[in-house]
Structure 1
Amino acid sequence: MAATLLSPARGGTPLTGRAARAVAELGERAVLCDLYDEAGAPIYHDLAGTTPHEVRELLTALRRLPGAVLDLAAGSGRLTFPFLGLGRDVTALELSTHMIGLLRGRLATTPPSVRERCTPVRADMSDFALGRRFGAVVLGTTSISLLPPDARPGLYRCVREHLAPGGRFLLTTVEVDAVTDGTDETEIIATGRDGRGYRMIEQWSAGDTTRTVTMVPVEPPADGPVTVATTTIGVLPASQVIAELEAAGYAVRSLTPVPGGGRHHDVLLEAEALR
């Protein structure tokens, strides 16, 4: 069983190693879901709100860029709310109905002066038309890696069509360092905003173009189903993203390392569409 469990995320990547064993230990109580679907979205939301990762770097860049902000793959608003905190108008674009529902719920609890500056939009970040332009288009949380290669040209085209003159495309991507200890998986304990702990198990072998992350509760309930969220995303080195941006008619104006530990380090790219 442990060798044949399939993640429901993006093509059914097999779960192996620690992830498979953790699910097998739960037996029939384990309910696998995608991290971004109805069952997984609350787990993503619980964890996403606990880290300031890349927020400072993005806010620093945005302070130099006037105008409204388009937050792509906004999720439940991890970056949307800090952008609103700058006093900007923010359009939050998200494909998942479950994620955008969480975002709308959070907005409903904010003061009208904040809520009125945010426009949630359900759309695909590789194919959208909003009829306006923005001083900055942001794609954070290394979410560009969620798009397959044949969808990324659509992203670059849509961003170009929505950037105001002098605007910038800000995006982060993950660099994965070579594995030096002979293993192809890591595990950390992550704590959500509600205090719940999760075993965050990542499967990735050096050279692979995808990595799979599985979230298993540290303390599952004694009875009943146990939700296990998993997702498989691409690994896109900055050099590859820069080459794609340049081929799509952008000039990359800066590359800023985003502090972080482990075998991952993210970078923030700032690109300008050449006209």
Structure 2
Amino acid sequence: MTSSTDLATGTGRLPGQAGTLLAELGERAELHDLYDEYGSPVYHDITASDTHEVRELVRLVRSSSGPVLELASGAGRLTMPLLALGRAVTALELAPGMLGALDERLASAPARLRARCTVVRADMSRFALGQRFGAIVLGTTSVSLLDAPGRAGLFAAVREHLAPGGRFLISTVDDALTDSGADPGSDEQVYALSGVSGRAYRMHEYWPRGALARTVSIFPADLDRVPDGPVRIFTSSVAVVLADLLIDEMAAAGLSLVARHPLPTGGARHRDVLLEMEAAV
């Protein structure tokens, strides 16, 4: 079985070792997009306890004032720490599966946090909320989900929604750190992941050197022990959108760079950076 992933890859197949594993599973394999109704719970399971970017983003948002807009909020990995600052937060997300996971997380949160959160289903590349925000946040390098026209729409909408003196905080791959000591001949990295549920996963990241996209595929950690029946594999094609390119694109949209904050995480082949932007005068 294949899903909307076919539209992203054009083949319903996976590159590298992940493709070999998929082929070995044969008809048992169900290939799903990482953000569909089946993939969203797995994504949430893996990222719920991930503190990547959280400290840096919270520190910068704390120094701003007024309501906060979080774009591509997903299941709320950043939403909950932002709400804990005592600010009103609008969480914008498009994928129904992610919205469902966020609703569940909010339902179990203290009432005072729920009261400060507004959830909006919308496309981050074109949104109109009729409100301005002291801080707009786009974390988890989610800008990589958009193509160039989509990013142009995003930046125009951000410029329109920033309050005077407001900040746009966006994470992406830092082009200055793409060589991080990994084996230059290796196109594929494999990582062991553990979810908050206790389930174990194996993530394959296929990224040929110089390619403008990387393919992320998530399998159960031990395929030999998976019971008989369908095996769901989750994948996403992630664009590599370098920081310098984003800075130039945002400048064209009327956003100027305030600071570039290195992040201590990323992958074996890259490091991430948090860009702090403001509306150009």
TM-score bucket of the superposed structures, by smaller chain: over 0.9
Structure 1 residue aligned with 2:255: 250
Alignment of 1:213-228 (within 5 A): 213-220=216-223, 221-228=226-233
- Asked whether the equivalents of residues 9 and 35 of structure 1 are also in contact (C-alpha less than 8 Å), the reply is no
Change (3 A) 1:154 1:136: same
Pairing 1:142–2:148 present: no
What is the CA RMSD across the aligned residues, in angstroms?
A: 1.7
- Give, as a single letter, the amino acid of the residue that structure 2 aligns with 1:35: L
Pairing 1:195–2:198 present: yes
Q: Percent identity?
A: 53
What is the CA deviation profile of residues 243-270 of structure 1, one whole-angstrom value per residue up to 9, with x for unaligned ones?
A: 1111111110000100025222000000
Question: Aligned pairs, how many?
Answer: 271
Deviating above 6 A after TM superposition, structure 1's stretches of 4 or more consecutive aligned residues are none
Partners of 1:256 and 1:169 lie apart in 2 by 13
Deviation at 1:27, TM superposition (A): 2.0
94-103 or 8-17: bigger deviation: 8-17
Partners of 1:181 and 1:110 lie apart in 2 by 45
Structure 1 residue aligned with 2:87: 88
- Asked whether the equivalents of residues 94 and 122 of structure 2 are also in contact (C-alpha less than 8 Å), the reply is yes
- Give, as a single letter, the amino acid of the residue that structure 1 aligns with 2:151: R
Q: Identify unmatched segments of 5+ residues in structure 2.
A: none
Deviation at 1:197, TM superposition (A): 1.0
Deviation at 1:11, TM superposition (A): 4.2
218-227 or 32-41: bigger deviation: 218-227
Alignment of 1:1-275 (within 5 A): 7-8=5-6, 10-12=8-10, 14-175=13-174, 177-178=178-179, 180-220=183-223, 221-260=226-265, 262-275=268-281
Partners of 1:265 and 1:122 lie apart in 2 by 30
Partners of 1:96 and 1:153 lie apart in 2 by 20
Q: Identify unmatched segments of 5+ residues in structure 1.
A: 1-5
Secondary structure at the residue paired with 1:110?
coil
Partners of 2:199 and 2:48 lie apart in 1 by 13
User: TM-score, structure 1 length as denominator?
Assistant: 0.94
- Give, as a single letter, the amino acid of the residue that structure 1 aligns with 2:97: H
Deviation at 1:175, TM superposition (A): 3.3
Partners of 2:272 and 2:131 lie apart in 1 by 30
- Asked whether the equivalents of residues 172 and 273 of structure 2 are also in contact (C-alpha less than 8 Å), the reply is yes
- Give, as a single letter, the amino acid of the residue that structure 2 aligns with 1:273: A
- Give, as a single letter, the amino acid of the residue that structure 2 aligns with 1:137: I
User: TM-score, structure 2 length as denominator?
Assistant: 0.92
- Give, as a single letter, the amino acid of the residue that structure 1 aligns with 2:19: A
What is the CA deviation profile of residues 6-43 of structure 1, one whole-angstrom value per residue up to 9, with x for unaligned ones?
A: 94363436412211112122221110000001111111
- Give, as a single letter, the amino acid of the residue that structure 1 aligns with 2:229: G
Secondary structure at the residue paired with 1:33?
strand
Partners of 2:9 and 2:163 lie apart in 1 by 37
6-15 or 135-144: bigger deviation: 6-15
What is the CA deviation profile of residues 92-150 of structure 1, one whole-angstrom value per residue up to 9, with x for unaligned ones?
A: 00010110111011111112111010011000001111111110000000000100111
Partners of 1:83 and 1:174 lie apart in 2 by 23
